[in-house]
């Protein structure tokens, strides 16, 4: 087992969903192509959190695009981190930006963009977008592929 594999505490293990985003651990592994700019995309079409006022569930379709540097995100830990929001009360803007900032802090990508496409609350969908810096020159970034709200299916 390599040093890198020894640091992974969630992959291949039975791990409960953390009680809160603060308790979740985002893990990373060495990028095997750190000499190449490329885009990695994570899509979470069934993201859930709680309204901080009513306690009712809110639902979103998240799209996270990032350009890895020395590290790539270990996807199981990211899934557990995102799932930890299901009992977390926060506004749409807070959830979306906090997720982006946490990934930047822990994974240290060269560039990151997150789109939070939230289903209606009070009859109004709220879409939240956040990114870091400038996209590396010459890198192709596809559209996030989430249609403008029309019953978002």
- Catalytic residue IDs: 51, 58
**How big is the CA angle at 8 (ends 6 and 12), to the nearest 5 degrees?**
105
Question: Which DSSP helix (H) or strand (E) runs through 83?
Answer: helix 75-83
49, two tokens: 């959190």
- The beta-strand segments (E) located in the chain are 28-30, 40-50, 57-67, 71-73, 111-118, 127-131
Q: What whole-number distance in Å separates Cα of residue 57 and Cα of residue 48? A: 7
Residue 114 is classified by DSSP as E
- Residue 96: count other Cβ atoms within 10 Å of its Cβ: 26
């Amino acid at each position: 087992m390599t040093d890198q594999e020894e640091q992974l505490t969630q992959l291949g293990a039975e791990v409960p969903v953390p009680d809160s985003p603060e308790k979740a651990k985002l893990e990373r592994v060495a990028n095997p192509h750190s000499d190449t700019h490329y885009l990695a995309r994570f899509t979470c079409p069934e993201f859930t959190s709680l309204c901080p006022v009513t306690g009712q569930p809110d639902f979103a379709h998240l799209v996270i695009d990032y350009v890895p540097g020395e590290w790539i995100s270990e996807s199981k830990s990211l899934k557990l981190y995102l799932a930890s929001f299901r009992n977390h009360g926060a506004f749409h803007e807070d959830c979306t930006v906090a997720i982006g900032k946490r990934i930047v802090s822990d994974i240290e990508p060269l560039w990151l963009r997150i789109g939070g496409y939230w289903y209606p609350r009070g009859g109004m969908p709220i879409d939240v977008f956040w990114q870091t810096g400038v996209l590396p020159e010459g890198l192709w970034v596809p559209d996030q592929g989430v249609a403008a709200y029309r019953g978002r299916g």
